[in-house]
Structure 1
Amino acid sequence: MNKIVILATLIACAYAAPRRMVLPRLPASVIASGKYELIPGDKIVGGTEVVPNSLPFQISLQRKSSTGIYSQSCGGSIINEYTILDAAHCVDGVNDVTIFRVVAGEHDLSQISGLEQHRDVSGFLIHADYNKKTSANDIALIYLATPLDLSVSSAKPINLPPPTWEFDPPAGIVATVSGWGTTSSGGSISNVLLSVDIPIISDDDCNAIYTTNAKPKSIYESMLCAGGFNGNIDSCQGDSGGPFFIGTGTNAIQLGVVSWGRGCASAYYPGIKIYFF
């Protein structure tokens, strides 16, 4: 499963800093083809196509190849007209932000609807305690060079839990992940935006899964497990940084961001999301 982590300190920065601020799973096929899909591979597994632009907060983070072609890299969500919430591993190690662009109002990567808003990236801010090795605090803010037009229905900010909402999502709660990632580990990305509903799994069960196997990995407080114990539903390569949320449309509330997992929708390996609390 993929852990979703959303940290209150980073969110606070988004609102405390100026509106214009300076600041992974990536598909294997993009890496191999030189299209900069450099984050561990992710596409929604077991999901369905969403109604076009029904998740107006969803963005596509794209990377430019040496030939100037942009390819789907990660997901993300709109916080305000200048700020995108994403996973740290989607931008970590990048020195030249001109390889990135953010596309809001996107649905079908292979078609132009006229609703797309393309924005260059001016910088990003990675959580101060992000640990690349453990994936702890895998969260970042991406800042846009020019503002998004949020007056249109196809691009809207997602709702964040209020600071007073002391809510640790309990096991059994069903939330949604969305993205253009691969539908199987090592597969190709989806042209259309997909989503899938997945249940949250308890910290105890998640720890038992990930710490008692041949390649143990610790589950940290900022992480949240979600997925099906029998596999078949989860996020995958290319979905990293995308939202993990409850509700839908303009009423959706984001609980975390897609971070990492062992394979995609593997039985007994729920995905990990990073959450805000």
Structure 2
Amino acid sequence: MNKLITLVALVACAFAAPQRVVLPRLPYSVILNGKYRLIPDERIVGGTEVVPNSLPFQISLQRRSFSGFSQSCGGSILNENTILNAAHCVEGINDVTIFRVVAGEHDLSQVSGLEQNRDVSSYLMHPDYEGSTFFNDIALIYLTTPLDLSVPSAKAVNLPPPATEFDPPAGTITTVSGWGTTIYGGSISNVLLSIDVPIVSDADCNAAFAGPFDPNPIFPSNLCAGGVGGVDSCQGDSGGPLFTGTGADAVQHGIVSWGRAPCAVAGYPGVYTQVSYFLDWIAANRR
């Protein structure tokens, strides 16, 4: 009963506060443990199941609970030792043994034999990350043992070229993937889903979220996509990739960061961390 009251209070606060305040796109089981603030979280609303292991760079970041490990965030493979993620997915965690990274995953409810489970040795959040605004919402997760990237089911993601400093042009069709909820407040998807969403200009995105208390919520290091009613990322998708292309040729442009609650409301794009903005930081800190 106390957990139900807590959840109702959080939802009420999210809707009563200015539009920029949203529930995390972390699963509700994570919110209800009492350790986490209102932080962003996204999942795939209106998506379709991908061909198993056709996005070999996608990982599932899972948290240990009394019943075992469960989906918490997405993420992508930078190399055999390092995972690219959102800072809010790891913020405040002192005991990294609660995490595991699963590469080669498709169906969370079944074991295919292609999964590679890895423990986490540590993580690094951007030093200028701000949890209240999701400024610089990017982190690197380091694994205790390397992934085997020689197999088709696990590959490193491609990053934008070093000279890329700007968002893809507005209207560019990108793809976001994850195991997040398919409806706001619903259950995690067992299978990996994806949805195509158009890039939205920073000016239009800022206009959608601006309010009297925060007239400029979109930073130069953000990237916005979506805004089409009925399709969006949602709870459980945080930290996952926004990309162009497909398979091993995909290029990651964004990291799922935050969005309006509920998910998939027309006129409100999803907000992502722009990967090209952090290429130097990623290169300096990957292992």
Structure 1-normalised TM-score? 0.86
**Aligned match of 1:255:** 253
> Residue type of the partner of 1:99?
I
**Secondary structure at 1:238 match in 2:** coil
1:94-118 deviation digits (Å, cap 9, x = unpaired): 0000000000000000000000000
Helix, strand or coil: the match of 1:175?
strand
Higher percent of residues as helix: 2
Deviation sequence 1:161-183 (CA, Å, 0-9, x none): 12123442111011000000001
What percent of counterpart residues are identical?
Answer: 69
Flag the 1:118–1:192 CA change in 2: closer, same or farther, 3 A. same
Amino acid corresponding to residue 257 of structure 2 in structure 1: S
The separation in 2 between residues aligned to 1:255 and 1:41, in whole angstroms, is 18
Is 2:71 aligned against 1:72? Answer: yes
Correspondence list, 1:96-115, <5 A: 96-115=95-114
Q: Is the Cα contact below 8 Å between 2:126 and 2:136 reproduced in 1? A: yes
- Code of the residue aligned with 1:258 in structure 2: it is V
| Mapping for residues 168-183 of structure 1, pairs under 5 Å | 168-183=167-182
Per the alignment, residue 233 of structure 1 pairs with: 231
Match of 1:56 in 2: 56
CA distance 1:196–1:183, change in 2 (3 Å): same
SS at match of 1:208: helix
Equivalent position amino acid for 1:159 in 2: N
- Which amino acid is 2:256 matched to? V
Matches within 5 A, 1:53-202: 53-65=53-65, 67=66, 69-202=68-201
Report how far residue 233 of structure 1 moved. 0.8
Q: CA deviation at 1:212?
A: 3.6
Contact (CA 8 Å) 1:42, 1:183: kept in 2 or not? Answer: no
Q: Tell me the distance in 1 between the aligned counterparts of 2:88 and 2:177.
A: 18
Letter in 1 for 2:267: Y
C-alpha contact (below 8 Å) 1:29/1:186 kept by paired residues: no
2:254 and 2:182 mapped to 1: Cα distance? 21
Cα RMSD of the aligned pairs, angstroms, is: 2.2
Q: 1: distance between equivalents of 2:162 and 2:178?
A: 27
Cα distance in 2 between the residues matched to 1:59 and 1:101: 10
Cα separation, partners in 2 of 1:166 and 1:40, compared to 1, 3 Å: closer
The 1:133/1:115 distance shift into structure 2, 3 A limit, reads: same
2: CA distance between counterparts of 1:199 and 1:225? 9
Contact 1:137/1:274 (CA < 8 Å) preserved in 2? yes
1:197-245 deviation per Cα after TM superposition (whole angstroms, max 9, x unaligned): 000111111111111478866111111111134x111100000000000
How many Å apart are 1:28 and its aligned residue? 1.5
Larger CA deviation: 210-219 vs 79-88: 210-219
For residues 140 and 30 of structure 1, the distance between their equivalents in structure 2, rounded to whole angstroms, comes to 19
Distance 2:269 2:184 in 1: 14
Contact 1:64/1:100 (CA < 8 Å) preserved in 2? Answer: yes
In the alignment, the residues of structure 2 paired with residue 221 and residue 114 of structure 1 have an alpha-carbon distance, to the nearest angstrom, of 42
Structure 1 residue runs of 5 or longer lacking an equivalent are: 3-23
- Is 2:243–2:250's contact at 8 Å kept on the other side of the alignment? yes
How many residue pairs match? The answer is 253
Q: CA deviation at 1:184?
A: 1.3
Give the C-alpha shift of residue 37 in structure 1: 9.4
Task: Kindly indicate whether structure 1 or structure 2 has the higher relative contact order, using CA contacts under 8 Å at least 6 residues apart.
Answer: 1
The one-letter amino acid paired with 1:210 is: F
1:246/1:255 contact within 8 Å kept: yes
Task: Decide whether the 8 Å contact of 1:37 with 1:71 is kept in 2.
Answer: no
With over 3 angstroms needed to count, the CA separation of the structure-2 counterparts of 1:41 and 1:186, relative to structure 1, is farther
Would you say the 8 A contact 1:28–1:41 is kept in 2? no
